[in-house]
Amino acid sequence: MDVTHDPATLSWVESANDPATDFSIQNLPFGRFRRNALEPWQIGVAIGDQVLDLHAVGLIDHLDMQRLMAAPVTERRALRLSLWEGLRAGSALQKVWSQALLRQSEVEMGLPCEVGDYTDFYTGIHHATTVGKLFRPDNPLLPNYKWVPIGYHGRASSIGASGQQFHRPQGQTLKPGAAVPDFGPSARIDYELEIGAWVAGGNGLGEPVAMAQAEDYIFGLTLLNDWSARDVQAWEYQPLGPFLAKNFATTVSPWMVTLDALAPFRADFERPAHDPQPMAYLDSAHNRAAGALDVQLEVWLQTPAMLAAGNPGQRLSTSNMRDAYWTLAQLLTHHTVNGCNLRSGDILGTGTLSGPAPEQGGSLLELTQGGKMPLTLANGETRTFLQDGDTVILRGYCTRAGVRRIGFGECRGTLLAAR
């Protein structure tokens, strides 16, 4: 932690001083915006309800987010300090910088950066256990789960920014009792509550990243919704895992919250004594002392009926990133241990982050026990899986006594009818 985390610091941008804002001066997340569809994406930082144009104030001389993310961690921290100094109350830069502010509500937010590759992990042990019990009641976790971070290669081209709309996908499914598969629109569209970690810089091919350096290769975090077609998934996933059930859409929030901003919300990472402890290449003193992050997560659902009634939606569940079975450093280190080269702009998904209680499921698959126990919403509607027109909103934030609140903004996506 450093001076940028001082909870007493206020900004001359008044909206950043609201205790409820996601984007106080202690946060300063990075994203891309544009005023209209004819101009290129600009690099900005969120401050209150505003966005600061970094190119306009001379803090960068380019519009390449991947290039900014690839800068050494010392330069990235220096940029954060410059932003903090320029935006704090009493700054001599207020008059000049105020000309480079735009309301977030008046600009279009895009993907935080162009996505290179996308790997999705399976770090949520409560999710893995609950889902495993649906198929293997006596043996929910496979033998490798507590030894190796499980992951698969996702589809980067269908990742979209918050506000993404997508059509109900079609595919093959095997209906209960049927001898041959059917083809048509998926009837079991689901969401998955995840965090996305954006890679900074990268490692050379054949050059593993050790635990001691792993976090230097993570630029920041966003919320991530890994939409899933559960009926397609059940038919196709053996023996090679997810394919069409996962590649039709993934939604991320537009602001990358840096690990530096999250420093006050570090937590110890400790395995239960009866579980296998991480292998040496996945272990470090720093990871044990502060490898976990205390990020509170929420899932909200707004149905078309709620939208028509002016209802902002209903919260379905809450959980916390701290319950993840593997840390971000472990994910990145394991990803590169075989010599795999990560690149600036790659994204690593955590997998569904559910809590230990049944009502803390990070997907409808868990909350409805595979569709067997429909959810009754406050307005009388019911859901087993998502219906056309449903909007899912993910939210994430960090709170702690004596520290300013840090938020991620919204990750919002809407399911449309099949084409």
Asked if residue 406 lies in contact with residue 261, where contact means CB atoms within 8 angstroms, the answer is yes
Q: Any binding-site annotation on 369? A: no
Q: Any binding-site annotation on 216? A: no
Q: Any binding-site annotation on 122? A: yes
396 burial (CB, 10 Å; 0-12 / 13-18 / 19+) is buried
Q: What is the DSSP letter of 198?
A: E
Which of 369, 355, 263, 268 has the alpha carbon at shortest distance from 318?
355
Residue type, 170: Q
Cα–Cα distance for residue pair 109/219, rounded to 1 Å: 19
Q: Which of 126, 127, 334, 335 is catalytic?
A: 127
Q: Any binding-site annotation on 192? A: yes
Clarify whether 127 is annotated catalytic. yes
Q: Any binding-site annotation on 136? A: yes
Q: Any binding-site annotation on 376? A: no
Cα–Cα distance for residue pair 232/245, rounded to 1 Å: 5
Q: Any binding-site annotation on 246? A: yes
Contacts of residue 361, Cβ cutoff 8 Å, sequence gap at least 6: 127, 130, 317, 354, 355, 367
Residue 90 phi, psi (nearest 5) = 90, 0
Q: Any binding-site annotation on 207? A: no
State how beta strands 296-302 and 30-34 pair.
unpaired
Which of 387, 352, 302 has the alpha carbon at shortest distance from 131?
352
Cα–Cα distance for residue pair 394/150, rounded to 1 Å: 23
End-to-end CA distance of the chain: 50
Asked if residue 34 lies in contact with residue 42, where contact means CB atoms within 8 angstroms, the answer is yes
- Joined together, the tokens standing for residue 355 give 């809590």
Asked if residue 286 lies in contact with residue 327, where contact means CB atoms within 8 angstroms, the answer is no
Length of the chain: 419
Positions of E strands within 226-366? 228-229, 250-252, 257-258, 266-267, 292-293, 296-302, 314-320, 347-349
Asked if residue 183 lies in contact with residue 172, where contact means CB atoms within 8 angstroms, the answer is yes
Tell me how far the alpha carbon of residue 349 is from its chain's centroid. 7
Q: Any binding-site annotation on 237? A: yes
Peptide bond into 176 cis (omega under 30): no
Residues annotated within the binding site for Mg(2+) are 226, 246, 250
Residues annotated within the binding site are 120, 122, 136, 192, 194, 226, 233, 237, 246, 250, 352
Residues annotated within the binding site for Ca(2+) are 120, 192, 194, 226
Active-site positions? 127
Residues annotated within the binding site for substrate are 122, 136, 233, 237, 352
